[in-house]
């Protein structure tokens, strides 16, 4: 009796293993067919990817956009191939059931990787609408730098101090984005002040001539010099001109223009005033000479 009880689990295990082996043997044709489907899927994905690359290169699209389209087409082909392979491997699985399972799985994956898909979609839209190109200098909120790569998930920015910043595409897509180098020229502005005793029209003419003499100032755009404000110690002029749009062009041009204005005003004898301060005292202030010790010269002044 005990021997029969000992043999019973072994018999059950043997029967189960036999059933599994029989099921695998019966499934071999389906496995082979599914493998063939996957091989054909890979070949189709590779062929379509090459075709997409050649087509977009002829239209001179950006490399990042070409790569994005190639990855998208290949992903769609593989999803379809996996769906077909699943229905071939498991005949009892209908396409409707497979699609329903894929839909539920997609929702779960989408909720789990919401940020990843959000950045992916934002990157695709950025590549489509072309707001910026590789090599552009941009500013977005507190991030600024030159675009080195535009990828599907993030954009690589090289800061002007040399650091590399990987910015999520959703951040660039949602926030206001300044493309500093969208045009070849950009307008720069400084404020110059002259003393109140100087002639306004003459000062304006001297400043404008000084700006026009600078090599970094564009000759095709107008130079503006406006009397803009009554400051504490000076009459202020807003000076505007156009130069290269890159940040280094701005710094070089600003340096050249400010130096030229200073030299021109000095040569013309026009005063650039220091801030003046008038001090008022309520009580008497005694004046003393250094060689007379503490004896006051006068009680008031």
d(CA 127, CA 133): 9
33 located within any domain? yes
Residue 169 belongs to domain with CATH number: 2.30.30.60
Site of tokens 């009796």 = 1
Q: What is the pLDDT of residue 296?
A: 53
Q: Are residues 175 and 189 in the same domain?
A: no
215 located within any domain? yes
Q: Are residues 78 and 106 in the same domain?
A: yes
Q: Are residues 104 and 145 in the same domain?
A: no
Q: What pLDDT, in 10s, does the model give residues 10-38?
A: 666 565 665 565 655 556 777 778 788 88
| Higher pLDDT, residue 64 or 81 | 81
Q: What pLDDT, in 10s, does the model give residues 191-228?
A: 999 999 999 999 999 999 999 999 999 999 999 999 99
Tokens of 7: 């043999």
Q: What is the pLDDT of residue 112?
A: 47
- 291 — pLDDT class (breaks 50, 70, 90): low
Q: What pLDDT, in 10s, does the model give residues 246-285?
A: 999 999 999 999 999 999 999 999 999 887 677 777 777 6
Tokens of 290: 């250094």
Q: What is the pLDDT of residue 48?
A: 84
Q: Range of 220's domain?
A: 185-267
7 located within any domain? no
275 located within any domain? no
121 located within any domain? no
300 located within any domain? no
When pLDDT is averaged across residues 160-180 and rounded to a whole number, the result is 90
Number of folded domains that form the chain? 3
When pLDDT is averaged across residues 4-10 and rounded to a whole number, the result is 55
Identify whether the C-beta of residue 61 lies closer than 8 Å to the C-beta of residue 128. Answer: no
162 located within any domain? yes
Q: What is the pLDDT of residue 226?
A: 96
When pLDDT is averaged across residues 57-72 and rounded to a whole number, the result is 72
**H helix runs in 167-229, sequence order:** 169-174, 200-212
């Amino acid at each position: 009796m005990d021997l029969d009880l000992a043999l019973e689990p072994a018999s059950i295990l043997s029967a189960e293993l036999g059933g599994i082996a029989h099921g695998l043997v019966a499934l071999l044709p389906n496995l082979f067919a599914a493998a063939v489907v996957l091989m054909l899927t890979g070949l189709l994905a590779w062929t379509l990817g090459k075709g997409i690359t050649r087509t977009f290169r002829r239209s001179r699209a950006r490399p990042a956009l070409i790569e994005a389209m190639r990855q998208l087409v290949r992903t769609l082909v593989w999803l379809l191939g996996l769906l077909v392979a699943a229905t071939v491997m498991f005949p009892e699985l209908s396409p409707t059931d497979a699609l329903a399972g894929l839909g539920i799985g997609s929702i779960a994956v989408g909720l789990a990787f919401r940020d990843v898909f959000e950045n992916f979609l934002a990157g695709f839209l950025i590549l489509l609408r072309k707001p910026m190109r590789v090599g552009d200098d941009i500013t977005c909120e507190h991030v600024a730098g030159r675009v080195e790569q535009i990828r599907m998930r993030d954009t690589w920015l090289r800061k002007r101090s040399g650091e590399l910043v990987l910015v999520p595409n959703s951040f660039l897509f949602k926030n206001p984005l300044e493309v500093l180098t969208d045009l070849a020229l950009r307008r720069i502005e400084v404020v110059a002040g002259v003393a109140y005793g100087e002639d306004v029209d003459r000062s304006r003419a001297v400043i404008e001539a000084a700006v026009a003499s600078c090599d970094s100032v564009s000759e095709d755009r107008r130079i503006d010099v406006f009397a803009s404000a009554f400051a504490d110690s000076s009459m202020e002029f807003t000076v505007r001109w156009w130069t290269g749009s890159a940040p280094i062009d701005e710094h070089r041009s600003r340096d050249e223009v400010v130096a030229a204005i200073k030299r021109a005003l000095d040569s013309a004898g026009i005063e650039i005033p220091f801030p003046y301060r008038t001090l008022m005292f309520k009580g008497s202030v005694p004046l003393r000479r250094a060689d007379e010790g503490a004896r006051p010269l006068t009680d008031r002044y």
